[in-house]
């Protein structure tokens, strides 16, 4: 029986990379994690963490490895977005990239640039600099995907700290969906999903009525993430 090594493909093979669109939330604004390229092409320009996948790893394994090597971030929620195959997207050679998006709790990481990234930094979503390669297009697709996803799965909780206020939760949804919610209707909807666990803790040092902290019900979260729901107000 022939082994894999005995087969020789007659087809041309492009290079394959992975790119990671990393979302974070600071309690007031949606943020994107970028690295400043330390090598050509586009040296000094900002881009998504990523790089060429190795021969013996899957695309997701490559994405997680590159993310850790270039920013120090690991063990985060990550899903595949789609492939980008523009013929001239990389000036070095024909490169197809498989993009992923990930959701990160900002409080869990102090990002640092590493490998071929000279710097890693969070940028507010409305303050993103011009990006290298076709990463502006990738970001646009990632944002559209996140807007759709968060309306059918409660993945927004992956961006929040272990305890948060209802205002922070509402601000997160408004930042992603780019719409304003009526405060009372938002609170009522979120409480009806049984996702929130009210805590005894309240926001300290406030001159007005102190806001209560919540944590999220992970068991209910996993249930809704599995079967989905429709976010309607």
Question: pTM for this structure?
Answer: 0.88
- Give the list of residues 6+ apart from residue 153 with CB closer than 8 angstroms, or none: 224, 225, 228, 229
pLDDT digits (tens, 9 = 90+) for 125-141: 999 999 999 999 999 99
pLDDT at 153 (0 to 100): 85
CATH 3.90.79.10 occupies which residues in the chain?
Answer: 8-135
CATH 1.10.10.10 occupies which residues in the chain?
Answer: 155-227
CA gap 185, 193 in Å, rounded: 13
CATH for the 155-227 domain, from 2.40.30.10, 3.40.50.10860, 3.40.50.2020, 1.10.10.10: 1.10.10.10
Q: Where are the beta strands (DSSP E) in 88-128?
A: 95-105, 117-124
For residue 192, give both structure tokens.
Answer: 């009806």
Domain 8-135 has CATH 1.10.287.110: no
pLDDT digits (tens, 9 = 90+) for 55-111: 999 999 999 999 999 888 999 999 999 999 999 999 999 999 999 999 998 877 777
pLDDT at 115 (0 to 100): 58
pLDDT at 231 (0 to 100): 74
Per the CB < 8 A criterion, the answer to whether 17 and 52 are in contact is yes
Least confident window among 57-61, 156-160, 229-233: 229-233
């Amino acid at each position: 029986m022939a082994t894999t090594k005995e087969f020789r493909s007659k087809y041309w093979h492009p290079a394959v990379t992975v790119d990671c669109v990393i979302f974070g939330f600071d309690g007031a604004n949606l943020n994107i994690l970028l690295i400043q390229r330390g090598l050509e092409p586009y040296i000094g320009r900002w881009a998504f963490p990523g790089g060429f996948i190795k021969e013996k790893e899957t695309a997701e394994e490559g994405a997680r490895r590159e993310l850790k090597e270039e920013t120090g971030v690991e063990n985060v929620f990550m899903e595949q977005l789609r492939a980008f195959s523009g013929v001239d997207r990389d000036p070095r050679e024909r490169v197809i990239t498989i993009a992923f998006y990930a959701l990160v709790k900002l409080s869990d990481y102090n990002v640092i640039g590493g490998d071929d990234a000279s710097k890693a930094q969070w940028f507010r979503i409305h303050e993103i600099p011009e990006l290298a390669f076709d990463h502006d297009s990738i970001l646009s697709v990632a944002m559209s995907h996140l807007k759709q996803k968060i309306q059918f799965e409660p993945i927004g909780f992956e961006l929040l700290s272990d305890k948060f206020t209802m205002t922070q939760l509402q601000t997160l949804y408004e930042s992603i969906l780019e719409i304003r919610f009526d405060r009372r209707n938002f609170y009522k909807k979120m409480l009806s999903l049984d996702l929130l666990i009210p805590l005894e803790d309240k926001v300290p040092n406030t001159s007005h009525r102190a806001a209560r902290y919540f944590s999220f019900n992970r068991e209910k979260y996993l249930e809704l993430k599995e079967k989905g729901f429709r976010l309607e107000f």
